[in-house]
């Protein structure tokens, strides 16, 4: 008989992040998943439920998910687990986690008291994004890999194996969505937004949205050629300064995917990547 699961959601910070306390319902030990924004609130929630923080699990390196980690580690002598590719890729994560960081490999088993969870490498949003699976009831805490109301941005990043190349974020993300689907999850907790009870419906909605965006990008690529920046301005003409990087990341992800599938041509001239319609 499997150990009953305890999960407490805490919505914290201006970006409405969800921080999680996760462990066995009838045991005191819990891990904090993505400690950010308000460590006092995290500790208070654990105290209210009679729980003891014994670890931190990190889904990825973005500041809105780890900005509370240094303070949490100052207050608690605990390990902080993150996917090895993310640790290698992100200097921000290495600074935040310091000597407490414990790199994970895909499929590693994590112990939270009597509870067992598996680390799933789910790259796409970042090269080392990680989800945490409780196989007994097929519950997943997915960070920004899976969000109910929006498709996560594939952010421009260097390839973790060859930093001289660009990480092919969209291709990896599609594989990650399929990887999560292979476990037939019954409940998925994301880094923002409500829990997901029907992953199959969301999976198919994501695929439709990605295919629609790919069609839009292909239509915007001219025969005379354009850069990813120029395509992004056509895709998102009203993007403000805060969101221009995300707009370019979205364009690059789809242009890389289209080029890999031989749908467009790519030329490099004077250090500029120019995308063109095929002749």
Contacts of 141 (CB under 8 A, 6+ apart): 7, 20, 22, 33, 57, 59, 131, 132, 188, 189
List pLDDT tens digits, range 174-224. 999 999 999 999 999 999 989 999 999 999 999 999 999 999 999 999 999
pLDDT grade for 163, boundaries at 50, 70 and 90: confident
| Candidates 1.10.10.10, 3.40.50.2300, 1.10.730.10, 1.10.1060.10; CATH matching 219-277 | 1.10.10.10
The ranges assigned to domains in the chain are: 5-197, 219-277
Tokens representing 34? 């993505």
Cβ(254)–Cβ(153) below 8 Å:
no
Handedness of CA 19, 161, 255, 259 (dihedral sign): negative
* Position with higher pLDDT, 152 vs 189: 189
The class of domain 5-197 in CATH terms is alpha beta
List pLDDT tens digits, range 22-36. 999 999 999 999 999
- Sort 174 into a burial class: Cβ within 10 Å, 0-12 / 13-18 / 19+: middle
Q: What is the pTM of this model?
A: 0.91
């Amino acid at each position: 008989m499997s150990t009953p699961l305890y999960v407490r959601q805490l919505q914290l910070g201006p970006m409405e992040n969800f921080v999680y306390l996760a462990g066995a319902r009838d045991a005191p030990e819990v891990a904090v998943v993505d400690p950010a924004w308000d460590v006092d609130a995290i500790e208070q929630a654990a105290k209210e439920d009679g729980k003891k923080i014994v670890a931190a699990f990190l889904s990825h390196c973005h500041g809105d998910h780890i900005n509370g980690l240094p303070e949490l580690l100052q207050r608690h002598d605990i390990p902080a687990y993150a996917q090895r590719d993310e640790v290698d890729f992100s200097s921000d994560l290495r600074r935040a986690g310091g000597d407490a960081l414990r790199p994970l490999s895909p499929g590693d088993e994590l112990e939270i008291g009597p509870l067992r969870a598996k680390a799933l490498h789910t790259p796409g949003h970042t090269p080392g994004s990680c989800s945490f699976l409780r196989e007994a009831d097929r519950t997943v805490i997915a960070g920004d890999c899976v969000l109910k109301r929006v498709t996560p941005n594939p952010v421009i990043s260097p390839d973790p194996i060859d930093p001289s190349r660009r990480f092919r974020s969209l291709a990896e993300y599609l594989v990650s969505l399929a990887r999560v689907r292979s476990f037939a999850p019954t409940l998925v907790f994301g880094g923002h937004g409500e829990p997901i009870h029907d992953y199959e419906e969301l999976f198919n909605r994501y695929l439709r949205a990605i295919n629609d965006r790919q069609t839009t990008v292909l239509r915007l690529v001219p025969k005379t050629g354009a850069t990813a920046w120029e395509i992004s301005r056509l895709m998102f003409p009203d993007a403000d300064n805060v969101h221009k990087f995300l707009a370019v990341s979205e364009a690059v992800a789809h242009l890389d995917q289209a080029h890999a599938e031989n749908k467009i041509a790519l030329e490099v001239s004077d250090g500029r990547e120019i995308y063109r319609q095929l002749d």
